[in-house]
A and B are shown apart, each in its own frame.
Chain A
Amino acid sequence: MTLAGRLPTTRWSLVLQAAGDEVSDSIAKASLEELCAAYWPALYGYLRRRGRTPHDAEDLVQGFFSDLLARDSIGSADATRGRFRAFLYTALDHYVANQHRRQTAVRRGGRETVLSLQGDQRQAIERDGWFETEVVDRHGDPQSLFDRQWAKCLLRQTLDGLRDEYQRRGQAEWFDRLAPLLTGAEPDTQQRSALAEELGLSRTALKVAIHRLRVRYRQRLLDAVAQTVEDPCQSGEERQWLFRALDVGRPS
């Protein structure tokens, strides 16, 4: 079952549907906050790869989100508004271009820190090879670089969420042992029996566990993609877009 069939509204659609009244505005704001919190590693990773220092990048993301959340509503007739990712890229681009002016404005008026990034979270990203923050890429296409970081952020978020789910059930070890099977080749008989023994499962139970993990992962992944598009029907397209963006990194 896809999420598209179950959830007619996505977070991003809730953001876009803010109608000016108190209820819908507060829902919109809460949804936007959730989305920003989920995707700030993508923005941070992007800025780092564009050559910003860790401190600089953190400041920029913080400033950008504060600015975004302080807005009354999201840019009205924006061509990119169907997808949160595309919207965020354009807005970030704009923000960084006007960084200086905004910084002075902030200094003058002071700003309310709506979204606080925790320092250790930032360091975790720096340590994690996932976003390749050390490798500066000033010459590549910024848009596809952004999309790649976005996709990685989406996947990391999905995996982390899934791990939490397993941990809550006391099955964190299962997750750590089985997660490589999300992409790796199917294990052969010997690997399967070793794995089953290690986890204290019967051979059939191991296969069931692998299946359940994959089903849950897929559900979470589709769910996460769907949250960033206005209409759940677009999530297939969005996933395909990200898939292609990741392919750009293939060495020619």
Chain B
Amino acid sequence: MTDRPCPRCGNPVPVDSGASGPTQCPRCLLRPPWDRPAPIAITLGPGQSFVPPSIEELSEHIVGYDVNAKIGQGGMGAVYSGRQKSLDRPVAIKILPPQIASRPGFRERFAREGRALAKLNHPNIVAVYDFGQAGPYAMLVMELVEGANLREVLAQGRLSQAEALEIIPQLCDALSYAHEEGVVHRDIKPENLLFDARGRLKITDFGLAKLLATKSDSSETESDSREADADAEPADQDSPTRGVVGTIHYMAPEQLEKPRSVDHRADLYALGVVFYEMLTGELPIGRFEPPSSRVNLPPAGSSGPPGISIDIRLDEVVLKALEKQPEKRYANAAEILSDLHSIERQPDAATDSHPDESGDLRQNARRYAATASNFASTAYRRGRESATDLQHSLLKHPSVDGPAVVSAVLLIGGCGLAMFLSSEPRGEFAALLTFVVACVAALILARLALSREERQRTDEGNLLIRFVLGAEYLMVAGVAVVAPVIVAIVTWIAIQGDVREPGQSGWFRDWVHVVSVATIISAAFWLTVLVLHVLFPAALRYLFKPFVGRISVRAAALSTLLLVLLITGAAGTLISMPYRPYVEGEPVPPELIDQLSPRDAAVARNVERQKRTYQDLMEQADLERRRIPEPSGLGGRRSEKVIVPEESREVRKR
């Protein structure tokens, strides 16, 4: 006898050599992995603080029925299993909290609703046998369903598409029937979807939510005439959310906002939630992904193919049922059913199709053929699966992703081609043309994809579109950012002269001036853009979609303040360090030359230098004159006479 480790807890498990099959791990049998409390969705309602009576207490109030055991309790009361003595059949007895039964007018409503519920006769709806009063409790006697509810079924893991499609059509059928009869469930959730031992769906608690709903805000206009008399009831403060009865994650948005104006489409929303939960094991909360992309990817860390794959067409059904606005949802359950039928009729190519193995070949040949075809079909399936995976991850929405991919290829390819052409002799023009055409075409395609994406309201944005548009916008915006700075510097140089290099005298003043002027002009430019954006918000948003949004008043005010501060600061600096005015010809003391603008400083320096040269020459001439007595000086003097007057004339002219 050998031991093998339990795959779950690692404890050695004796391997049984007997006929009774492999022994199970005793440790896991004592605390089975599935034996943990499962979360349940509790109906918001007046029954939260309700302490149900014991079996004995209840038996005292009920005539004609034996009460056996309590089998459940929720926001709408408690359920007991029992037996109807007269017909000797098992029943479920639901009692409602006494605070509801004691409400004025409740008995009449209960009688009316009870009759409506008892009329519902459908194989997928738990039948109501009887209703009445049991002491302080309102009581409903129903068909007993011994099996499991959907919550318990989901505890075994999410359902495959085929499993979900065994259930949802029954749900649609039952809802469609009840809605035609004028009954809205209002509290469809996994806990209320029961299955009998044969796996048949049985919806329970039909219409109870409406019966239990307390009076809502009296200012609300009442459309349902059947509710008119109910409005006469005094407001009931028992419920934490007045007027709302339902289960939070399964309630349609309108059910929370206007509990009185709820119609059958709230049930379709709840159906969407249940459908989503079946397929993914999660609730569609916040920005949720469509079921196929939630499930079809293999779980992180596993390299194997996905165990379950979901037809992408089911996404549309689920998402349409989950529309926030009732008008956008399916109009009725029958529509969902017909959509599901058409999906089932045209099976997705990706779902596996085993080749038919029957054939009148001999035993051995058949086995080999079967092995081979199994192998082929597995390979085929794997291939299809990875192809669909790729398709799913890349081309989830072909109408959006198609142009996006093309635009990216155009942009990158165009840039590459332009670079190649520009290296050719005399290819500059062709390169420029290619670049511009590629950019424009890519921009148009990307914008097309973006507008389609917006129409489809997909949850995650396509990255390629954003990449292409980002690159294009940067080409424009980059110029817009740099242009004011360049213009400012060029203009400044044209007026004031070349900026002195650092280290030269007076360079600091130049740099302060250049930086300040560039700052002022850029800030003024952005201020203009900001003002334009505030005044015409649509313009920039349209131009730079999807990167530019509406600016908030606060952000606009803050940015304006910052820009104005920048302009003022730069202007202040400029004023505090002005250039010294210079009139040409006027002598400037050399220590003040630094304070002149570069152009003036150059002129002033030039003037000074010429003055100095002139003075030097005059001094030299004087020296020459004093040396005159020399005998052969005439020629030399003449030559000097020719040169000196010319130079001094020039100086004088100035």
Contacts and interface: CB of A to CB of B under 8 A. Distances in A.
Contacts of A192: 160, 163
B218 to A, nearest CB: 42
Contacts of B153: 204, 207-208, 211
A182 interface: yes
Contact of A129 (B1, B32, B34): B1
Interface of B: 1, 6-8, 10-12, 14-18, 20-35, 69-71, 146-148, 152-153, 155-157, 160, 162-163, 166-167, 195-201, 307-308
A130 B23 contact: yes
A208 B196 contact: yes
Given A180-B22, A205-B195, 16 more contacts: A127-B18, A179-B24, A182-B28, A184-B24, A186-B34, A186-B157, A202-B198, A203-B163, A204-B199, A207-B195, A211-B153, A212-B146, A221-B29, A239-B31, A243-B30, A250-B11
Contacts of B167: 204
A249 B12 contact: yes
Contacts of A130: 14, 16, 23
A128 interface: yes
B14 A203 contact: no
Task: Summarize B's interface: helix, strand, loop or mixed.
Answer: loop
**Interchain residue pairs A-B with the least CB separation, the first 7:** A205-B199, A204-B199, A129-B16, A183-B28, A211-B148, A202-B199, A189-B160
A37 B30 CA distance: 21
B26 A155 contact: yes
A155 B26 CA distance: 7
A243 B197 contact: no
Contact of B199 (A188, A203, A221): A203
A183 B307 contact: no
B12 A205 contact: no
Contact of B11 (A129, A182, A202, A247): A247
Nearest to A211: B148
A238 to B, nearest CB: 11
A152 B10 CA distance: 17
Nearest to B1: A129
Given A128-B20, A129-B23, A243-B27, A202 B166 contact: yes
5 contacts: A151-B26, A180-B24, A203-B199, A204-B167, A212-B148
A137 B269 CA distance: 63
B12 A207 contact: no
A182 B24 contact: yes
A251 interface: yes
Contact of B29 (A183, A203, A211): A183
Contacts of A176: 21
Contacts of A214: 32, 34-35
A69 B178 CA distance: 64
A88 interface: no
Nearest to A207: B153
A134 B32 contact: no
Contacts of B14: 129-130, 132
Interface string A166-181: 0000000000100110
Nearest to B10: A250
A189 B307 CA distance: 7
Nearest to B19: A127
* Most B C-beta atoms less than 10 A away, residue of A6, A135, A176, A249: A249
Contacts of A159: 29
Contacts of B148: 207-208, 211-212
B13 to A, nearest CB: 9
Nearest to A193: B162
Given A128-B20, A189-B307, A203-B162, A243 B199 contact: no
A221 B20 CA distance: 20
Nearest to B14: A129
A192 B159 CA distance: 11
Contacts of A204: 153, 163, 166-167, 195, 199-201
A210 B1 contact: no
A178 B650 CA distance: 119
Contact of A211 (B23, B152, B307): B152
Contacts of A135: 1
A128 B18 contact: yes
A128 B20 CA distance: 8
A155 B24 CA distance: 10
Contact of A183 (B18, B33, B162): B33
A209 interface: yes
Given A129-B15, A129-B23, A249-B11, A207 B30 contact: no
A141 to B, nearest CB: 17
Contacts of B30: 151, 154-155, 221, 239, 242-243, 246
B26 A152 contact: yes
A127 B304 CA distance: 41
Contacts of B22: 180
B12 A208 contact: no
Contacts of A206: 199
Contact of A218 (B24, B32, B201): B32
A6 B6 CA distance: 34
A201 interface: yes
Contact of B32 (A128, A152, A183, A201): A183
Contact of A203 (B17, B147, B166): B166
* Most B C-beta atoms less than 10 A away, residue of A134, A218, A239, A250: A250
Given A203-B166, A218-B32, A250-B11, A211 B156 contact: yes
Contact of A250 (B12, B26, B69): B12
B189 to A, nearest CB: 17
Contacts of B163: 189, 192, 203-204, 207
B528 to A, nearest CB: 63
Nearest to B72: A1
A183 B25 contact: yes
A185 interface: yes
Contacts of A128: 16, 18, 20
A221 B30 CA distance: 8
Nearest to A209: B197
A151 B26 CA distance: 8
A210 to B, nearest CB: 6
B137 to A, nearest CB: 20
A212 B199 CA distance: 12
Contacts of B33: 183
B426 to A, nearest CB: 66
B12 to A, nearest CB: 6
A152 to B, nearest CB: 5
A212 to B, nearest CB: 7
B29 A182 contact: yes
A246 B162 contact: no
Nearest to B6: A183
B138 to A, nearest CB: 24
A234 B399 CA distance: 64
Contact of B12 (A151, A193, A251): A251
B162 A208 contact: no
A174 to B, nearest CB: 11
B474 to A, nearest CB: 48
Contacts of B20: 128
A241 B166 CA distance: 43
Contacts of B18: 127-129
A244 to B, nearest CB: 10
B307 A188 contact: yes
Contacts of A212: 146-148, 197
Given A132-B1, A203-B163, A204-B166, A182 B16 contact: no
A155 B23 CA distance: 11
A11 to B, nearest CB: 20
A218 B35 contact: yes
A180 B10 CA distance: 17
A129 B22 CA distance: 9
A237 to B, nearest CB: 13
Contacts of A210: 156
Interface string A190-234: 001100000001111111111110100110010000000000000
